[in-house]
Each structure stands twice: as structure tokens, then as C-alpha cells.
């Protein structure tokens, strides 16, 4: 039975729109064997070679399905893909994927990591490594390589990930020029096929970080010579040259790259052409056009970002529609938007119309997504919380967990209603937890290190917590070593 991807209501057979919410039903032709997406004129699957049979119903609504009892594999609907805002975990059907690093058990350098998987049907929670540098680099000795995966994304039955790959001498392998690349890769669980989808950069000094959403990938890249010339012409047309109070200093800027995972097509657009002095709270701000931005965060049709530099605080922030950067809107003063290449995603918790962000050094702010106005009565209440990138968590898609600065307890905030939850949590809700994901009425939290019978175990661990117990009990009680 097909369901609406928007409101999850059952759909009538052959429906073109949902009868409950009006969402358009999108159908696809898919291989009955490996679920690969097929073009309209393709007779055989390009992934596994299986012939497409028009008499077998394999058209599915994108990302929406309910398995019915007795349903055969030939008519199983589209893969269920679940992702997280931090991008450290993803689920395809009943398999969970995670980014792990464990020197003790895998003899991997600190800068290297791997992708692991665990079946959610496995009650023991035992995992396996599906990709590390030993099988990623097939033509180069692993001791001469580096692999650092920074983000996972499940879409269309495949696992996409962004990663730095580096070869230290030896054969070039996947490197066409030099020995470094930052790219987007795909891994098909059914065929174990690994592909390089897109080289985002082959320059080691470009701090690129991809942000995925559905079938799209977003990232910033520096301009080539031709694009830079066009950018300078655009500046002169808008401001009338260098005597307008605005200036171009370094004369190299960044473009927003939008890459379609389904078609491999990309579009490039200039970032907003504005200067520090354009922010209302900027006293004596510079008229130099912004040339470097923090890596983008995509949410609900908008790109959120901030000026890079200025102390790297990220508090000169704005957003713009993904296809129209010049329609930018400023976020409230001192609101921090930061997706850092090294430390990761700073606080960005969204639910419904509400987005909670860091504001200045010691505060948080809740803003309305529709108006960008601060929500009254929220900021002053939460000026004692630690919201570093590796500390905050969002549970169940609506509950923000942040530790108090004294590190003794966690504050639980109802994001949608912008209020403190009636229950607070222990430090195990954030300490040593890398990411978490909600699936089938359970919270799956991934981390490292747990205590059992007074002894600390330095192992990668998965917590499987029933949703009705995640605030009532210590989550360490649900710890299961992955290896």
C-alpha cells in the first residue's frame, strides 16, 4: 500500500494526488531486484542487469511505503531512508549505517575513519565494517592513504557520503591529478558497488563540507578564472565600480554548488553580493564584499550561512532561497550559523516553524522560520548551556538536549513549543553520544564508551532505547557494544 510522503495517509491505487493534503504523487520505474531507478526507455537495470517487466508493479511513490503482509520482494515499495541533521548516521530499510573510528580494534589513525553497518533486526547489535581505506583504495597500499568520511546520507536505496581521500605516494588510483580529493561517493548495499559521484575539490586547502537533503547536495567552491571575471562584471554593474563605498579586495569569491544526485547535474550561483556594513548591527563595518562564507546548511528551501572570518564566530548570518541568493534575509543580531569543516555543525535545531540557534557566546535564540523574528521569552532563560558541536543532540525530531556548563545534567527543550521540558536528562544523553536517529518508536544513539558494573569500556556502542523510556531511564542501560 502506498502512503503520502507528506502526511503519511494511505493513497488510493492510481491516485495522482493525496486526498488528505493534496500532495502530488510521484511515481518511479524501479528494478524489482535491486530497487535501482530506471529511465522511461530502459528495459534492463543499469545496476544489476535484471529485465524490467511491465506486468510487475514496481512503480513507487518516492520514499513512501508500507509493507503489506505477504508482499513479495518483486512488489516491495521504495526503500525507507532516514537521515539526521548531523549526518553521522543513516538508515536504509532496517539497516543502520554510521561513521566510526576505533584505533584499538581497527588500527586506524586518528584522522581516518570507516563506515559501519548494523542490522536493526539483530538483537545483539553486532556491526560490521562495510567501507574503510583498505577496500576504498583498491590500487594503493592502505598505509600510504588517508580516508576521512564527514557525512552520510541515505537516498533512493543508496548510501551517499562525502569524504577526504588522500594518497601519500604510490599509485594515483582514483586521483587524476595530485594526491588529494574531497568528493561525494555512493555505496549500493545490494550490489556492494562503490562509486565516485562527484569530485568537489582536489585542493587540500579548500575547507569544503557538503550538506545533503533528499536528492540534492550543497557545498561552496572557489571560482575559476572565467567565473571570477563574470563576478567582477556583476559587481561593477551593481555598485558602479570601486568608488561606491563597496570594494573587491582579493577578487576571488565562492559559488554555491547545487548537485543533483539523481541526474548528476550541477548548477552554480554567486553567493549574495554584500558587505559587513550591510548588517544593521555592524558599527563601522567594512564595505569589502564578502568573499568567504561558512559551509551551507540547507533547511526547508533555504540556505543558512554566515561570513567566514571576523574571528570565525559565524555571527554575521543570513539565509536565502536556494535558487535565488540575492533574495537574502538577515538573521537577528549575533545569531550564529556555522557548519565548520573541522568541528562540524554548530547548534541548528529545527521543528515546525521554530529554529533554535546559538546567539553570541552564552545564549541561544529561537526564531520563527516564516518571519525570522525572535520568539519572546526564550533567549534569557537559556544563557547557561554548553552548545558545542559535539554536545547537543535532537531526539525524536523535536527535543533539543544541551548540557549545562557544569556538566552535571542536560536540559531538554521542546523545540516546537519553545519551552523547557518538564523533565531534565542525565549527562548520558549527550556525553559520548555522536548522533541519534528516531525509527519505529525507538531512539538509536551511537557513541563510544560506557560503564557497566563500575567498569568503563572504551568501545563503540549503540543504544536502542524505546521512545517512552529515553527520558525515564539512564540510556547507558541500553548500551550494546557494536564490535
pLDDT by residue, tens only, the chain of 483 residues: 456 666 656 677 667 777 777 777 766 666 655 566 777 667 777 766 666 654 333 333 343 333 333 333 333 345 789 999 999 999 998 999 999 875 544 444 445 789 999 999 877 778 899 988 877 776 555 556 778 899 999 999 999 999 988 876 555 555 555 577 889 999 999 898 999 999 988 876 677 899 999 999 999 998 888 888 999 888 888 887 666 788 887 767 899 999 999 999 999 999 999 988 898 877 777 888 998 899 999 999 999 999 886 554 668 899 999 989 999 999 998 899 998 877 789 999 999 899 999 988 778 899 999 999 999 888 766 766 777 777 899 998 899 988 876 667 788 899 999 988 877 777 677 778 899 999 989 999 998 887 777 788 788 889 899 998 888 777 777 888 887
Kindly state the cell numbers that stand for 417: 513549543
Element (H, E) at 336: strand 335-336
Residue 337 forms part of a structural domain: no
Last residue of a domain, one of 78, 109, 138: 78
Q: What is the pLDDT of residue 74?
A: 35
In 249-396, the DSSP E strands lie at 254-260, 266-270, 297-299, 302-306, 317-321, 329-330, 335-336, 339-340, 344-345, 348-351, 354-359, 363-368, 393-395
As beta bridge partners, residue 29 has: 38, 59
Strand order in the sheet with 37-38: 37-38, 27-30, 59-61
Last residue of a domain, one of 78, 107, 137: 78
- Residue 481 in any domain: the answer is no
- pTM across the whole model: 0.80
The phi and psi torsions of 71 (rounded to 5 degrees) equal -70, 130
φ and ψ at residue 388, rounded to 5 degrees: -65, 160
Residue 51 lies in a domain: yes
The count of other CB atoms within 10 Å of the CB of residue 321 is 13
Beta strands in 326-441 (DSSP E): 329-330, 335-336, 339-340, 344-345, 348-351, 354-359, 363-368, 393-395, 399-403, 409-414, 419-420, 425-426, 433-439
Residue 477 inside a domain? The answer is no
Burial of 144 (0-12, 13-18, 19+ CB in 10 A): middle
DSSP E strand boundaries for 192-311: 193-201, 211-213, 216-222, 254-260, 266-270, 297-299, 302-306
CA angle 376, 398, 411 (to 5 degrees): 70
Confirm whether 361 is domain-assigned. no
| Strand-pair partners of 60 | 28
For residue 478, the number of C-alpha atoms closer than 13 Å in the C-beta half-sphere is 22
- The rounded distance, in Å, linking the Cα atoms of 483 and 481 is 6
In angstroms, the Cα distances linking 238 to 225, 231, 241, 280 are 20, 11, 8, 20
Bridge pairing between strands 114-119 and 348-351: unpaired
Residues in the chain: 483
| 3-state secondary structure (DSSP) of residue 459 | strand
Helix (H/G/I), strand (E/B), else coil: 365: strand
- Asked whether residue 54 is assigned to any structural domain, the reply reads yes
Residue 41 lies in a domain: yes
Q: Which residues contact 139 (CB under 8 A, 6 or more apart)?
A: 171, 173
Q: Considering only CA atoms, which of 297, 294, 329, 305 is closest in space to residue 216?
A: 297
The C-alpha cell of 470 is what?
529515553
Q: Is residue 427 part of a domain?
A: no
Cell numbers given for 68: 503489506
pLDDT of amino acid 369: 93
Q: In the listed set 281, 306, 325, which residue is the last one of a domain according to the structure?
A: 325
How many structural domains does the chain have? 2
The Cα 77–Cα 90 span in angstroms is: 19
Domain, as residue range, for 12: 1-78
| Spatial separation of the C-alpha atoms in residues 139 and 137, rounded to whole Å | 6
Amino acid at each position: 500500500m502506498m502512503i503520502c510522503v507528506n502526511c503519511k495517509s494511505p493513497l488510493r491505487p492510481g491516485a495522482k494526488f493525496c486526498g488528505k493534503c493534496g500532495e502530488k504523487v510521484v511515481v518511479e520505474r524501479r528494478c524489482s531486484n535491486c530497487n535501482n531507478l530506471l529511465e522511461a526507455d530502459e528495459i534492463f537495470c543499469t545496476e544489476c542487469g535484471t529485465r524490467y517487466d511491465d506486468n510487475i508493479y514496481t512503480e513507487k511513490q518516492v520514499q513512501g511505503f508500507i509493507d503489506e503482509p505477504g508482499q513479495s520482494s518483486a512488489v516491495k515499495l521504495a526503500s525507507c531512508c532516514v537521515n539526521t541533521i548531523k549526518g553521522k548516521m543513516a538508515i536504509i530499510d532496517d539497516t543502520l549505517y554510521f561513521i566510526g573510528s576505533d584505533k584499538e580494534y581497527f588500527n586506524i589513525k586518528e584522522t581516518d575513519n570507516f563506515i559501519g553497518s548494523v542490522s536493526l533486526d539483530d538483537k545483539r547489535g553486532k556491526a560490521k565494517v562495510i567501507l574503510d581505506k583498505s577496500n576504498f583504495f583498491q590500487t594503493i597500499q592502505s598505509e600510504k592513504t588517508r580516508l576521512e568520511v564527514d557525512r552520510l546520507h541515505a537516498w533512493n536505496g543508496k548510501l551517499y557520503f562525502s569524504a577526504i581521500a588522500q594518497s601519500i605516494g604510490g599509485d594515483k588510483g582514483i586521483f587524476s591529478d595530485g594526491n588529494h580529493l574531497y568528493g561525494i561517493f555512493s555505496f549500493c548495499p545490494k550490489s556492494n558497488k562503490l562509486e565516485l559521484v562527484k569530485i568537489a575539490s582536489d585542493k587540500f586547502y579548500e575547507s569544503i563540507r557538503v550538506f545533503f537533503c533528499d536528492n540534492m547536495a550543497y557545498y561552496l567552491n572557489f571560482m575559476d578564472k572565467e567565473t571570477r571575471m563574470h563576478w567582477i562584471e556583476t559587481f561593477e554593474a551593481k555598485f558602479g565600480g570601486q568608488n561606491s563605498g563597496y570594494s573587491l579586495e582579493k577578487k576571488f569569491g565562492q559559488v554555491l554548488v547545487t548537485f543533483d544526485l539523481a541526474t548528476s547535474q550541477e548548477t552554480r550561483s554567486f553567493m549574495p553580493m554584500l558587505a559587513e556594513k550591510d548588517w544593521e548591527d555592524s558599527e563601522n563595518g567594512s564595505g569589502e564584499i564578502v568573499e568567504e562564507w561558512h559551509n551551507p546548511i540547507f533547511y526547508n528551501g533555504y540556505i543558512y550561512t554566515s561570513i567566514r572570518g571576523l574571528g570565525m564566530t559565524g555571527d554575521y548570518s543570513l539565509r536565502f532561497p536556494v535558487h535565488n541568493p540575492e533574495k537574502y534575509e538577515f538573521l537577528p543580531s549575533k545569531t550564529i550559523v556555522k557548519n565548520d569543516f573541522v568541528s562540524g555543525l554548530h547548534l541548528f535545531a529545527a521543528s515546525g516553524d521554530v529554529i533554535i540557534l546559538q546567539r553570541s557566546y552564552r545564549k541561544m535564540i529561537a526564531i520563527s522560520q516564516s518571519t525570522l523574528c525572535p520568539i519572546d521569552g526564550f533567549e534569557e532563560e537559556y544563557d547557561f548551556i554548553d552548545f558545542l558541536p559535539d554536545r547537543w543532540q535532537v531526539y525524536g525530531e523535536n527535543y533539543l538536549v544541551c548540557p549545562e556548563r557544569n556538566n552535571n545534567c542536560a536540559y531538554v527543550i521542546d523545540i516546537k513549543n519553545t519551552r523547557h521540558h518538564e523533565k531534565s536528562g542525565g549527562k548520558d544523553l549527550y556525553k559520548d553520544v555522536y548522533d541519534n536517529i528516531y525509527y519505529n518508536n525507538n531512539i538509536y544513539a551511537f557513541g563510544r564508551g560506557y560503564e557497566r558494573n563500575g567498569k568503563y569500556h572504551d568501545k563503540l556502542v549503540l543504544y536502542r532505547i524505546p521512545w517512552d523510556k529515553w527520558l525515564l531511564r539512564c540510556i547507558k542501560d541500553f548500551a550494546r557494544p557494536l564490535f
